[in-house]
Each structure stands twice: as C-alpha cells, then as structure tokens.
Amino acid sequence: MKLGNDVILQGALIGLSLTLIVGVLTFLAHKRLPYKKMLVFTGALLVVVLAVMVGETVQEMQLAGWIGTTTINVHFPDWMGVWFCIFPTVETLSLQVIAVIYVVGTYLAARYLTKRKVNSKQSQSA
C-alpha cells in the first residue's frame, strides 16, 4: 500500500493473466491431465495451509494470553515464523503436528477402507 495503487494494479493484472494462462492450458489438455495426482497434490498443499493456520492461531492465542507459552531451546530462522508460522513453542509445534497427523491419518484410513471394501466385493463376486 505504501508504493501506491499502480503496483497493486500491476500485481493483480499479472496474477489474473497467469490464472487465465493456466485455465486455457487446463482446458486444452483436459484429457491428458492426471486429475487424481492433481487432487492429491492439492490436498497436500491444503495440509500445509492447515499447519500454517494452526500455527498462526496458536501464536495469536498465546499473544492474547489465552493459552500458555512454553518455549523450547531450538532456533528457527525468522522467515519460518513469517511464512510458515513455525515458532519454537511446545504448544505451536505440538498442535501443528496433531493437525497434520489427523488429516493425513484420515486420508490414509479412507484409502485403506476403500481398498478393503473393493477387495471384499471382488471376493464375494468370485
């Protein structure tokens, strides 16, 4: 905002043009795209976003005094706190790990149950 509206407009136009390029390429190559791999990759990116959001939320709650802060003697570079909300506190790291394990665990459990269901149907039909 300090640089003015022109920079914001240029950034928005660049983002819009890149989005349009990706959209056109997607529609042109839609039959050859590996949709399942793309969905899994998107899910992995959402897990990263979840970890960032959990880290940010926990840090905000710590700053507000709503939960305690137990620091650990580990040094993370400042950019990790800015970009990924990874802070050297027990609460932040443990809740991020719990959130990621929960989501990845439910994904793996769903895959396991789906494969088990398919296998049982195949054995019943045979």
Domain extent listing, the chain = 1-33, 34-125
Helix extents (H) in the chain: 5-28, 35-64, 78-84, 90-125
If one compares 123 and 22, the residue with the highest pLDDT of the two is 22
Mean pLDDT of the chain: 90
Please, which pLDDT band fits residue 1 given cuts at 50, 70 and 90? low
pLDDT at 126: 65
For residue 51, which amino acid is it?
Answer: A
Residue 11's alpha-carbon distances to 23, 56, 74, in angstroms, are 18, 26, 37
| Percent of the residues in the chain that have a pLDDT greater than 70, as a whole number | 98
pLDDT at 64: 95
pLDDT at 70: 95
Please tell me whether the overall predicted TM-score, pTM, comes out greater than 0.75 for this model.
no
Contact 62, 81 (CB under 8 A): no
Please write the tens of the pLDDT for every residue from 72-106.
999 999 999 999 999 999 999 999 999 999 999 99
